[in-house]
Amino acid sequence: MSLARKKVGSGKLLLQHNIEYGFWRNLIGGTIISVLFSGITTYFSYVENNKTLFIASIILLVIYLLILICNKFIINSFGKMYVRVLIGNIWE
């Protein structure tokens, strides 16, 4: 991969796809910890009978779980877009 990047150089479109791909990889990596903390927050807000915090925690927990469930699809989609641009720039 690094050889391909050296050959292509720093194309603006390639850089944009690299940033998008990296963003989603980092977001998915962070959701593992986020699910844990959202679960803990949900539990304690339920025990303390804090309805506002409980609802917010449930919403965040669902969002993070959806990201984790869809992680393979997200990474594959953005990875394929990145590779298409990379290969397209190599053959130019």
Three-class secondary structure of residue 75 per DSSP: helix
> What residue spans define the domains of the chain?
27-90
Comparing CA positions, the residue from 65, 57, 73, 88 lying closest to residue 24 is 73
| DSSP strands (E only) in 1-92 | none
Mean pLDDT over 32-49 rounds to 96
Mean pLDDT over 12-18 rounds to 74
pTM as predicted: 0.69
What pLDDT, in 10s, does the model give residues 41-72?
999 999 999 999 999 999 999 999 999 998 88
**Lowest-pLDDT range of 3-12, 28-37, 57-66, 79-88:** 3-12
Q: How many CB atoms lie within 10 A of CB 47?
A: 9
